[in-house]
Amino acid sequence: MIEIHNIEKSFDGNPVLKGISCTFETGKCNLLLGGSGTGKSVLLQCVVGLMQPDLGSITFDGTVFSNNKVQVRQEIRRKIGMLFQGSALFDSMTVAKNVEFPLEMLTPEMSREERRDRVEFCLKRVGLENAGDKMPSEISGGMKKRVGIARAIAPNCTYLFCDEPNSGLDPLTSLKIDELIQEITYEYNITTVIITHDMNSVIEIGDHIIFLYKGLKLWDGTKDEILNAQVPELKEFIFSSSLVRAAKRIDDETHSGVASL
Amino acid sequence: MVKSFGQFLLFMQSMLVRKERFTVLWRRTIDECVTIGVNSIFIVAIVSAFIGAVTCVQIAYNLTNPLIPKSTIGYMVREMTILELAPTITSIVLAGKVGSSIAGSLGTMRITEQVSALEVMGINSASYLVLPRILGAILMFPLLVVLAMALSIIGGYLAGSLTGSISAQEYIEGIRTDFIPYNIFFALVKSVVFAFLVSAISAFKGYYTDGGALEVGTASTTAVNNSIIAILIADFALAAILL
């Protein structure tokens, strides 16, 4: 479980996060939802340690992460897996080498054979058992995301962070990536945090959703509760989605009898 | 300027804390030696051979006084090559080739979040990415400079012989006259200093690239410009201190 308490962050005097407190629960897909520029990415960067918050604390399973000793932060970081928006695969390495990289760096006690077996397992888990020898430039965007997930889970991560895992993907591939993240979360009982503004993902995998608006947490709940939420900013966000608009239109037409014509 | 220099010093410091295991550093350094050194042999060979050839021909053209022995041409080619042309021109050429490559690759890694990926894994990205590049440059620049010295003198020999400006015997006599071994040491010290400047400045510019593809290009250009300026300043400073 990751607990965030009263996080504040400003850039050149402009507040981006204004005292956000929330909890990311273990074994669930925790979604950070919100429009562009609402502070989702900044919050995620603070949580994974790429950015230092101005105020507040972040705790990973009871261990304080922010403002702690470098060694403690390193230990926590080594339990973190992250899928970046652009996948962030290392261009100079093959797919298999990319997945092996964190094992090689973080678990020197593993033998080469053990590492190879783990890489094979992770690639198989994400459905890319035949792509190990390919270079990142030779695979599609969806495959890159899968490799990113395989790399994240290779060292048995406890916390998985995904920064807009569906960006740039077609709806079918997005759905598959969402399902894969959800399966992995349940299978390994890890704490998964996903940044998204995709309502498909919200409806599909949103076990716990946190809605951010202008640097504030306005709402949190589950996918079953979100459509009935009474927060105007959240309602506006939800109903600006093409998917929800289309569903509402079909619903209206069905009830007025137009659809049957 | 002062702020940038302070940032540069902090960058150098960050590279030296939380280093990766020795085996990782060693393997990465060897990889960089290949990229920086072996892949630069061709361009260094071409540039130095022609510089030696042109130096020989132009000195012969200017040396019209019959009282000055022709062997002076060989002597002057050697002195110019060892003291200045081989270390400085080679380093300037490498600033263009290696410096832009370092800045470009690190800049691309930064904007594609590969640097962030390393940091999230708990790896000191500066130490993992930059230290091997600096060590690789420090190891390979002197070797390339020695190669440049040899090829430049051979280039002068071939040019002098082929154009008839100087006989082979006179040229060899010239390059063996009043040889001072300290000059070789001086050239190697210069090459080590230039290696550090080129690799560290380029890495600094690339590592802190912010933005997109345009900024990567700008970082590469700035890295080469700053490296060349740093080489010229250091060249003067070392000459004043060590000679």
Q: Return the residue matching tokens 């079909």.
A: A250
Residue B7 lies in a domain: no
Measured CA to CA, the distance from residue B238 to residue A255 in angstroms comes to: 87
Range(s) of the domain holding residue A176: 1-79+158-230
Work out the pLDDT band at A169, boundaries 50, 70, 90.
Answer: confident
Contacts of B119 in chain A (CB under 8 A): 49-50, 77
Residue A249 lies in a domain: no
Tally of domains within chain A: 2
* Residue B80 clears pLDDT 70, i.e. is over it: yes
Measured CA to CA, the distance from residue A225 to residue A202 in angstroms comes to: 11
CB under 8 Å to B127, separation ≥6 — which residues? B14, B15, B16, B17, B18, B19, B20
Q: Number of Cβ pairs closer than 8 Å across A and B?
A: 48
Range A28-46 average pLDDT: 90
Mean pLDDT check: name the lowest of A61-70, B172-181, B217-226, B230-239. A61-70
Our CA-based measurement puts residue B120 at a distance from the nearest CA of chain A, in whole angstroms, of 6
* Residue A257 clears pLDDT 80, i.e. is over it: no
Q: Which of residues 73-92 of A touch B (CB under 8 A)?
A: 74-75, 77-78, 80, 82, 84-86, 88-91
Helix, strand, coil % over all residues of chain A, rounded to 5: 45, 25, 35
At residue A67, the pLDDT reads 79
Same domain, A126 and A142: yes
**Nearest 5°: phi and psi at A24?**
-105, 115
Same domain, A151 and A164: no
Same domain, A1 and A55: yes
* Residue B1 clears pLDDT 50, i.e. is over it: yes
H-state helical runs in B63-180: 71-80, 90-94, 100-111, 114-120, 125-129, 131-163, 168-175
In chain B, the percentage of residues whose pLDDT exceeds 70 is 100
Helix, strand, coil % over all residues of chain B, rounded to 5: 85, 0, 15
At residue A242, the pLDDT reads 65
CB under 8 Å to A111, separation ≥6 — which residues? none
Our CA-based measurement puts residue A108 at a distance from the nearest CA of chain B, in whole angstroms, of 9
Residue A15 lies in a domain: yes
Among A133, A157, A181, residue at a domain's last position: A157
Q: How many CB atoms lie within 10 A of CB B239?
A: 14
Range A121-127 average pLDDT: 89
Same domain, A74 and A162: yes
The one-character DSSP state at A137 is G
Q: Which of B103, B64, B93, B73 is nearest to B201 (CA)?
A: B103
At residue A78, the pLDDT reads 85
Range(s) of the domain holding residue B40: 22-242
Same domain, A99 and A203: no
Residue B107 lies in a domain: yes
Same domain, A4 and A128: no
Residue B233 lies in a domain: yes
In chain A, the percentage of residues whose pLDDT exceeds 90 is 43
Residue A71 · residue A110 · CB < 8 Å: no
Same domain, A93 and A192: no
Mean pLDDT check: name the lowest of A42-46, A232-236, B18-22, B119-123. B18-22
Residue A235 lies in a domain: no
Give yes or no for A105 touching B (CB within 8 A): yes
Write out pLDDT tens, residues B125-169.
999 999 999 999 999 999 999 999 999 999 999 999 999 889 999
Higher pLDDT, residue A114 or B17: A114
- What's the alpha-carbon Rg for chain A, to the nearest Å? 20
Mean pLDDT check: name the lowest of A97-106, A163-172, A235-244, B127-136. A235-244
Write out pLDDT tens, residues B167-216.
999 999 999 999 899 999 999 999 999 999 999 999 999 999 998 899 99
Among all residues of chain A, which has the CA nearest to that of B24? Answer: A105
Closest Cβ opposite residue B121 in set A70, A75, A102: A102
Higher pLDDT, residue B226 or A107: B226
ipTM over 0.90 threshold: no
Instruction: Look up residue B54 and give its two tokens.
Output: 């042109």
Query: Average per-residue pLDDT in chain B?
Result: 93
Residue A121 lies in a domain: yes
Work out the pLDDT band at A255, boundaries 50, 70, 90.
Answer: low
Residue B220 lies in a domain: yes
Residue B235 lies in a domain: yes
Measured CA to CA, the distance from residue A146 to residue A180 in angstroms comes to: 9
* Residue A79 clears pLDDT 50, i.e. is over it: yes
Measured CA to CA, the distance from residue A176 to residue A182 in angstroms comes to: 10
For residue A201, give the CATH number of its domain. 3.40.50.300
Work out the pLDDT band at A229, boundaries 50, 70, 90.
Answer: confident
Residue A9 · residue A53 · CB < 8 Å: yes
Which of the residue ranges A52-66, A226-240, B43-57 has the most confident prediction, judged by mean pLDDT? B43-57
Contacts of A105 in chain B (CB under 8 A): 20, 24, 121, 123
Q: Which residues of B38-74 are buried (b: 16+ CB within 10 A; e: fewer)?
A: eebeeebbebbbebbbebbbebbeebeeeeeebbbbb
Q: Which of B138, B166, B143 is nearest to B75 (CA)?
A: B166
What is the reported pTM?
0.86
Residue B1 lies in a domain: no
The one-character DSSP state at A31 is E
Measured CA to CA, the distance from residue A99 to residue A31 in angstroms comes to: 25
Same domain, A166 and A62: yes
Our CA-based measurement puts residue A212 at a distance from the nearest CA of chain B, in whole angstroms, of 23
Residue B125 · residue B119 · CB < 8 Å: yes
Mean pLDDT check: name the lowest of A74-78, A101-105, B35-39, B205-209. A74-78
Range B97-107 average pLDDT: 95
H-state helical runs in chain A: 40-48, 70-77, 95-106, 112-125, 141-153, 171-188, 199-205, 223-226, 232-239, 242-256
**What totals of helices (H) and strands (E) does chain B contain, helices first?**
12, 0
Q: Return the residue matching tokens 């190891």.
A: B139
Measured CA to CA, the distance from residue A222 to residue B240 in angstroms comes to: 72
Residue B167 lies in a domain: yes
Among all residues of chain A, which has the CA nearest to that of B20? Answer: A105
Range A79-103 average pLDDT: 92
Work out the pLDDT band at A258, boundaries 50, 70, 90.
Answer: very low
At residue A244, the pLDDT reads 66
Same domain, A194 and A165: yes
Residue A77 · residue B121 · CB < 8 Å: yes
Our CA-based measurement puts residue A98 at a distance from the nearest CA of chain B, in whole angstroms, of 11
Same domain, A43 and A9: yes
Range A62-87 average pLDDT: 86
Tally of domains within chain B: 1
* Cross-chain residue pair A88–B112, CB shorter than 8 Å: yes
Give yes or no for A126 touching B (CB within 8 A): no
Same domain, A222 and A183: yes
Same domain, A180 and A151: no
Residue B220 · residue B111 · CB < 8 Å: no
Measured CA to CA, the distance from residue B89 to residue B194 in angstroms comes to: 11
* Residue A109 clears pLDDT 80, i.e. is over it: yes
Measured CA to CA, the distance from residue A80 to residue A22 in angstroms comes to: 19
